[in-house]
Amino acid sequence: MRSRPVYGELTPRPGSGHLFVADGEGAEAILDLFQKAGAQASSLLEKSHIIYMPGPNGTDFGARLEALGAAQYHRSPSFASAQSRLKKVLADAHMGLQIYLAGTEGLMGQAQRDVIEAGLPHEAVQTEHRGSTVRRVQCVHCKGITENVRTDPIKCSHCGLHLFVRDHYSRRLAAFQGVNIDAEDPGQVPAAVERFK
């Protein structure tokens, strides 16, 4: 599906500062990046700010990230709790800030949205998908977002409709689209299958 973003691999780049936002297994993409940086790693760390939260599957590599010794390290219990800090950092950003996002699609999508809203150039952002493939899904009917969706169909956590999870993805909403699966034949809901882990 052409509306889905394409993710890459984090690579150290020269910059005036380095902001990392990651969840779950995304921590390992950051650890790998510093490995790649070799002799440059320590000067990079002096200008690095890492914001990390556990993944939706519970994976928590916070201790290993903290041990890197970045200038700033912050662990949040969730993206929602990290968001005000992220927005402040983006608002204070200087020219040349490099941004590295790693982990689940939901985390990267939401962080990227804040980056775009802050008016930073998209060329400054790198992404790497690691870990869980659970989805953020927007119910097209009630507009509510259901987090960490594992199955298809799902029940909307807001209005309760049974939703088919499309591959159509909105970067603005950082969410996939959910459409009522039994609209034409109310009550005929197929069994949920685990599609995202």
Q: How big is the chain by its Cα radius of gyration, in Å?
A: 18
Task: For residue 112, state whether it binds another protein (rule: CB under 8 A).
Answer: no
Identity at 95, one-letter amino acid code: M
Q: Whose CA is closest to 168, among 178, 158, 159, 180?
A: 178
3-class DSSP state of 105: helix
- Measured between alpha carbons, how far apart are the two ends of the chain, in Å? 19
Q: Whose CA is closest to 23, among 84, 115, 117, 105?
A: 105
Query: Strand 151-152 to strand 193-194: parallel, antiparallel, or no bridges (unpaired)?
Result: antiparallel
Task: For residue 110, state whether it binds another protein (rule: CB under 8 A).
Answer: no
Task: For residue 123, state whether it binds another protein (rule: CB under 8 A).
Answer: no
Q: Measured from the CB of residue 179, what is the shortest distance to another protein in angstroms?
A: 6
Q: What is the DSSP letter of 168?
A: E
Q: Measured from the CB of residue 184, what is the shortest distance to another protein in angstroms?
A: 4
Task: For residue 68, state whether it binds another protein (rule: CB under 8 A).
Answer: no
The single residue among 138, 145, 150, 153 that binds another protein, judged by CB under 8 A, is 138
x/- site string to another protein, residues 144 to 183, per CB under 8 A?
Answer: -----------------x----xxxxxxxx---x-xx--x
Task: For residue 2, state whether it binds another protein (rule: CB under 8 A).
Answer: yes
Q: Identify which of residues 26 and 178 has a Cβ nearer to another protein in the complex.
A: 178
Residues that bind another protein (CB under 8 A): 1-4, 138, 140-141, 143, 161, 166-173, 177, 179-180, 183-186
